[in-house]
Amino acid sequence: MKPTRRELSIFSVSAIDLFASALGAFVVVAFVLLPHFPNTGDAPAAPVPPADPPAPAGLSPAELETLRGQATRTEAELDAARRREQKLAQALDDARTRTAPPPAPDPQDPISPAELAALRSRIEQAETELDAAQARERELARALDAATSSVQSLPPIDLIIALDTTSSMTGEVASLREEIAGLSELLVDLTEDAAVGIIDFKDGCGRQPALRVAPLQRIDRQSVRRLAAFARSMRPGSAACNVTADEDYAEALRAAVNADWRDDSEHRSIVMISDNPAHADLRRQAVADAGRFARRPGARHTVSAVFVDTSMTAGPGYPDAAACMQRVAWAGGGRFVRADENASLSVTILRAIFDG
């Protein structure tokens, strides 16, 4: 016997009717309650107009309106000031960048005779200075030629420069300040070896000699700096008691003669530079000291004199200063040289040492 086939059914017709009735009841209830649900969607809320700020305490509406008017006027004035500032800045920039054309020459206004004379005077002065510079250059060239003609045979030299630093010797003091380093290095080039010392002398008025001494020192970088520093410390001037033209010339010469000369130097030279001689009672002593120095045995010893012709030696009735210095140079076996205003002090010193 064939079994009967059964169909499996989860929901019966009665169950479906029940669910449909429940759904209909839910729809009816939701429709009735829909107006009471809150709006939680994404639509923006309507803007709320801002409330007017409260009026400051103690001000009436009329006073508040007055203040508002003043604020409006102030803002308008500020804007106007800013516009004026911009215009002024633009005008300033235009003025800075604007180039004014040069004025055209006036043919009706020729150069005056005074201006022409001044122009010619300037031209003549420039030509005179140029001639003097060329003369100094030629003098230096001649001195260097004379000094270097036998450069290989020049022996080691010790040099002491005794310079009168009274008020009338301002130019020579300035020259030594500028030239001492170059002169020292030049001596090293011209000779096998060199040492330099400086004596600064004035007029001690018969009391303690007015001397300052930079002792002899072999030329190298450090000694050149020391000599240059000493030269920079030299100050031209005269004491109040200095009522005569005589200087401490003899005292400076004796200090140079008694200097600590190097044993290995073969030429020991003293160069005296002044515009006036020794005190009258010491002139013979100066000549005698120069002679004794020249006669020292061993190395060659010389005393040279440079005469600087300044206004201090031009007094009427004054002894011949140049003749006094010339006697010192003759006694010292050196050379008498008249300083040339067109020659540097270094050239003059080289002439006093090396000229034949």
Question: What does 250-263 look like in DSSP terms, one character per residue?
Answer: HHHHHHHHTS---T
Q: Please tell me the chain's helix, strand, coil percentages from 3-state DSSP, rounded to the nearest 5.
A: 50, 15, 35
DSSP string, 140-174: HHHHHHHHHTTGGGPPPEEEEEEEE-SGGGHHHHH
pLDDT for 196 equals 95
Q: What is the pTM of this model?
A: 0.58
Q: Using alpha carbons only, give the angle 257, 348, 222 rounded to the nearest 5 degrees.
A: 65
| Per-domain residue ranges of the chain | 157-354
User: Distance between alpha carbon 182 and the CA centroid of its chain, in Å?
Assistant: 21
Sheet with 300-307, edge to edge strand ranges? 211-218, 194-201, 157-164, 267-274, 300-307, 333-338
- Going by the DSSP 8-state scheme, the letter that residue 209 receives in this structure is -
Give, for 272, the enclosing helix (H) or strand (E). Answer: strand 267-274
What type of residue sits at position 66? T
* CB atoms closer than 10 angstroms to residue 341: 10
Q: What is the pLDDT of residue 155?
A: 84
Instruction: Please tell me the predicted confidence (pLDDT) of residue 99.
Output: 45
**Per-residue pLDDT for the chain (356 aa), expressed as one digit of tens each?**
555 555 545 555 566 776 777 777 777 767 667 666 666 555 555 555 555 555 545 556 666 666 666 666 667 666 766 776 676 667 666 655 654 454 555 555 566 777 777 777 777 777 777 777 777 666 666 666 665 554 445 789 999 999 999 888 888 999 999 999 888 888 888 887 899 999 999 887 767 778 999 999 999 989 999 999 999 999 988 776 666 778 889 999 999 999 999 999 999 999 999 988 888 889 999 999 999 999 999 899 999 999 998 765 444 445 578 899 999 999 999 999 988 766 788 889 988 988 65
Q: What integer pLDDT is reported at residue 61 of this predicted model? A: 67
Round to whole Å and give the CA distance between 98 and 138: 52
The CATH homologous superfamily to which domain 157-354 belongs is von Willebrand factor, type A domain (3.40.50.410)
Q: Which pLDDT score is estimated for 40?
A: 57
pLDDT score of 201: 93
pLDDT at position 53 is: 53
Rounded CA-CA distance 278/203 in Å is 9
Neighbours of 91 (CB within 10 A): 10
